[in-house]
Amino acid sequence: MKKILILIMLYNVQAYSQNSKYTKNVQSIDVVIETLYAVISGDKGVERDWDLFTYLFHENAKLIPMTINEKGKSNIQFLSPKEYIDNSGKWLFENGFHEKEIGRTTEQFGNIAHVFSSYESFRTKYEKKPFSRGINSIQLHFDGDRWWILNVYWMAENNKNIIQDKYLF
């Protein structure tokens, strides 16, 4: 019984110390958003820190990409952080992807926050012209100790929906 208790205590200490290295990444809305962009960005052949990525999100969080088909109909997909990693991780690694924030509007009421974050996407950090732009709608919750991402719902800019100046820096 003592061995089991000691093993449980060691596991809890190890789990805490592993996650505590990320606590600085969740102490403010600004830092969470900066970390989100940084952790998904990287050159071709660069592995992302998926532990840090996962740490940003609440256990029930969703990533929700929205696309519009050729007939103008919208389509949304609801992904857990793990499903996002499973669906996109290999592509990000094989192709390179850098997402840069180009504007932000933040609204906060108590422990809830909503961030409208405009972005540009590049294959490498040296490119000047983005291959895509859009807006991330990010909902966050503060539990008294840290900020959690609850949802990231995004849509790429298209010919019909252009990012308005009020959403740019």
CATH number for the domain that contains residue 11? 3.10.450.50
Of 6-15, 60-69, 93-102, minimum mean pLDDT range = 6-15
What was the pLDDT predicted at 134? 98
What was the pLDDT predicted at 64? 98
* Higher local confidence (pLDDT), 16 or 156: 156
Per-residue pLDDT of 8-64, as tens digits, reads: 443 443 444 446 799 999 999 999 999 999 999 999 999 999 999 999 999 999 999
Per-residue pLDDT of 138-150, as tens digits, reads: 999 999 999 999 9
Total domains in the fold of the chain = 1
38: containing domain: 2-167
Kindly tell me if the per-residue pLDDT of 110 is higher than 60. Answer: yes
pTM value is 0.87
Helix spans in the chain (H): 2-20, 29-40, 50-56, 81-95
Q: In what order do the strands lie in the sheet with 57-68?
A: 74-76, 57-68, 147-156, 132-142, 112-122, 98-109
